[in-house]
Each structure stands twice: as structure tokens, then as C-alpha cells.
Amino acid sequence: MKMKNLLLALVFVLSYFSYSQNNDNSHLSEANRVLLEELNAQEDARLTRVNTFLTSHPNVKAMLINDGVRLMYIYDVIDGKPIYRSTDNLEAARATKTVELWTGGSLGLDLNGEGMTVGVWDGGPADNNHVEFENAAGTDSRVTVIDFAVIDGDSGSFSSHGTHVTGTISANGTNPNAIGMASGVDVKSYNWNNDEAEMVSAVNDVTSPIIISNHSYGVPIDQGNGNQ
């Protein structure tokens, strides 16, 4: 139990440290600064609720594995009940006809995402060393890790689900069958802690603001125990 709480606390500390070190908010408007303060206060309150609940309920698991596959991690406590977050994803380049926007697509638009930046929030950062995330010259990664803490239960320095989702969005097509929806786009990779406040900062970033964000996670209906 002590180890569980220690690991959970470490994740929260690392997430907060990463967030605070990577955000200079002096350029934000007064309205956005106020919003950011409110969101950070809400995040602090959420973390306190989770830590307090786990301390007083030693038999409750911080992480669940549902059906041996899906990982769920406690995210909040509402009305005395733990709320878990889990990852999900839907590969849809063909289903949404995104392929028609690409170079060689039927629309003739040749849009592959070059010069644009998106944010991906997930259970942890993507593996930015993966060959599918290399730039066109093969000299650097198009994925910048902002939050280094992995919080969805994966071992190691990156989230396999976060990497998969980032690949669905931005893989360069080294493997033609794995090409992403925007194979030239740059990605900022986050974990889901403090996601709302981080989005405000990312949109207002001076050098490389994100134009859109992806969040392939949510609250599972069954909460891992069959209760809706």
C-alpha cells in the first residue's frame, strides 16, 4: 500500500514539475491567466481527492486491468466513489477519407501537415525515437515530449497507447501501411494530468502553438467492475 501511494505521488510530482518547467505564461492575456489559475487549482484539488481516497481506502486499486487488456487508472473521486480513466483509439484515416487530402489524393490538395503542430494527450508520452516520427530529412524527431511521466501503467519511459495514437496521427509512412493521417505534422506529447490547463498554454505558445489536440481516453462506462 505504501509503495502504491508512493508511486502515485511520484507521478503527480513529475507531472507538475514537467508542466511548470515548460510553461512561461507571461505572454498570456489576463483572461487566459485567470483561466489557467482556475484550472491548476482544480487539478490540485483533484490530486488531493485521489490521494486522500487511496490513503483511506487501502483495498482500492489505483490501477485496474479490465479483461486482461484495457488499463484503467484512478483519475478522480466523486461522491466518495473512484472514477477511472482508460485509453481508447479508433483508426480512421480511410473511414474519414483523410487519404483524399494527402499528396496524390483525389482532391489535389497535397495536405500532409507540414508546418503545423498538434497536441496529443494520453496515458503517457509517445516514443519520440520511433522511426515513424522522424522528420523528412531523417535527422530529428517531429515529436516533442512535454510530460515525461507515464501514468497509464506501462513500464518504461513511454506509453505504448500514446505512441500508437501519435502514430495514427503523424506516422511518416516508413511502413506504408502505418502512415498517419498527417504524416508531416509536428506533435507535442503529454500525459493526461492537468490536460485542460496544458491545452490553454499549448494553444497560446509563442513559438509553436498547437492548432488541434487529441484525447483518446475517457471514463469507461463499466468502471472495471461491471457497474455502470
At 110-132, the pLDDT tens digits run 888 999 999 999 999 999 999 99
225 confidence band (pLDDT: 50, 70, 90):
low
pLDDT at 211: 94
pLDDT at 142: 97
List the Cα angle 188/89/169 in 5-degree steps: 40
Tell me which of 135 and 27 has the higher pLDDT.
Answer: 135
Render pLDDT for 130-188 as a digit per residue (tens, 0 to 9): 999 999 999 999 999 999 999 887 888 999 889 989 998 999 988 887 788 899 999 99
pLDDT at 7: 41
pLDDT at 223: 54
pLDDT at 69: 46
Mean pLDDT of the chain: 80
Phi, psi angles (nearest 5°) of residue 215: -140, 85
Residues 51-67, mean pLDDT to the nearest whole number: 80
Cβ neighbors of 185 (< 8 A, separation 6 or more) are 112, 113, 114, 116, 117, 118, 142, 169, 170
CA distance 137 to 17: 33
Q: Evaluate whether 152 touches 71 at the Cβ level (below 8 Å).
A: yes
CA distance 228 to 224: 9
E strand or H helix at 76:
strand 70-78
Return contacts of 12-20, CB within 8 angstroms, 24+ apart.
Answer: 12/47, 12/51, 12/193, 14/148, 14/149, 15/147, 15/149, 15/151, 15/191, 15/193, 15/194, 16/193, 16/194, 18/146, 18/147, 18/148, 18/149, 19/146, 19/147, 19/193, 19/194, 19/197, 19/198
Residues 17-42, mean pLDDT to the nearest whole number: 74
Phi, psi angles (nearest 5°) of residue 55: -65, -40
Q: 77: which DSSP letter?
A: E
Domain boundaries defined on the chain:
1-220
Q: Evaluate whether 186 touches 157 at the Cβ level (below 8 Å).
A: no
pTM, two decimal places:
0.66
